[in-house]
C-alpha cells in the first residue's frame, strides 16, 4: 500500500474509534441522566427523538467513574481491534493478503455492526430521527460498531486492490514510484 492509502485508512480507523468512544459516552450519559428536558422542551425518553440539546445534557452528565463502571468487554474488544487495525495497516512485515484477511475477519467478529448499518441507513432514507430507544436498547453497540464494520470493508478493499494490482501488474509499484517518486 502506498503511504497515501495508509494515511486514508488510518484516518478512517481513527474516525471510527472516535465514533465508538462517542457512542460509549452517549450510552453512559443516557443511563446516568434519568429525566431531562432541553432548552426547547424536548424530553429525554425511550419514545422521544434525541435532539442536540439532549445529547449535550447526556454528555455533560458523564463522569470518569460512570464511564469506567460501564466499560464492557465488547467495547474493549472493538477499541482494541481499532488499535490492532492501525498496527496491521502500517506493519511492514505483513503482506497485503494478510492485511486484507485481518480486516475481513472483523466483519463476522463485529457482525452486530451490520445490523447498525441497516438501522442507520433505514433511518436516513425514511427521515426518522433516532429515538431514546436506539440508545437504551441492548444492541446500542450495533450502532457503535457499524462504523468499524464499514471501515473494515473499505480498508480490506483498499489492501486487496493494492495486492491485485501488484499481482496482475508486477511493475505497478515501480511505475508509481517513477511518476510520484519515493514519497509513496
Q: Which of 36-50, 53-67, 161-175 has the highest mean pLDDT?
A: 53-67
Which domain does 76 fall in, by range?
A: 3-183
Query: What's the pLDDT score for residue 184?
Result: 47
Q: How many domains does the chain fold into?
A: 1
Cell numbers at residue 37, please?
A: 428536558
Least confident of 25-34, 46-55, 108-117, 122-131: 122-131
Q: Please give the C-alpha separations between residue 85 and each of 26, 115, 174, in angstroms, as whole numbers.
A: 24, 22, 27
Mean pLDDT, residues 62-79: 82
Question: CA-to-CA distance for 135 and 22, rounded, in angstroms?
Answer: 12
Higher local confidence (pLDDT), 136 or 102 = 102
Higher local confidence (pLDDT), 90 or 178 = 90
- Cβ(166)–Cβ(96) below 8 Å: yes
Query: What's the pLDDT score for residue 51?
Result: 74
Least confident of 42-46, 54-58, 76-80: 42-46
Question: CA-to-CA distance for 61 and 77, rounded, in angstroms?
Answer: 25
Half-sphere exposure of 73 (CA within 13 A, CB side): 0
Amino acid at each position: 500500500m502506498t503511504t497515501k492509502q495508509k494515511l486514508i485508512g488510518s484516518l478512517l480507523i481513527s474516525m471510527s474509534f472516535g465514533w465508538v468512544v462517542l457512542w460509549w459516552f452517549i450510552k453512559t450519559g443516557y443511563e446516568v441522566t434519568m429525566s431531562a428536558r432541553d432548552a426547547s422542551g424536548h424530553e429525554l425518553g425511550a419514545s422521544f427523538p434525541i435532539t442536540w440539546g439532549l445529547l449535550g445534557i447526556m454528555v455533560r452528565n458523564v463522569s470518569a467513574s460512570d464511564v469506567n463502571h460501564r466499560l464492557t468487554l465488547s467495547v474493549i474488544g472493538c477499541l482494541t481491534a481499532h488499535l490492532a487495525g492501525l498496527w496491521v495497516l502500517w506493519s511492514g512485515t505483513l503482506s497485503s493478503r494478510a492485511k486484507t484477511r485481518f480486516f475481513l475477519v472483523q466483519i463476522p467478529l463485529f457482525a452486530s455492526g451490520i445490523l447498525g448499518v441497516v438501522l442507520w441507513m433505514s433511518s436516513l432514507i425514511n427521515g426518522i430521527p433516532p429515538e431514546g430507544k436506539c440508545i437504551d436498547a441492548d444492541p446500542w453497540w450495533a450502532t457503535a460498531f457499524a462504523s468499524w464494520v464499514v471501515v473494515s470493508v473499505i480498508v480490506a478493499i483498499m489492501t486487496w486492490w493494492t495486492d491485485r494490482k501488484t499481482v496482475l501488474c508486477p511493475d505497478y509499484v515501480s511505475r508509481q514510484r517513477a511518476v510520484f517518486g519515493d514519497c509513496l
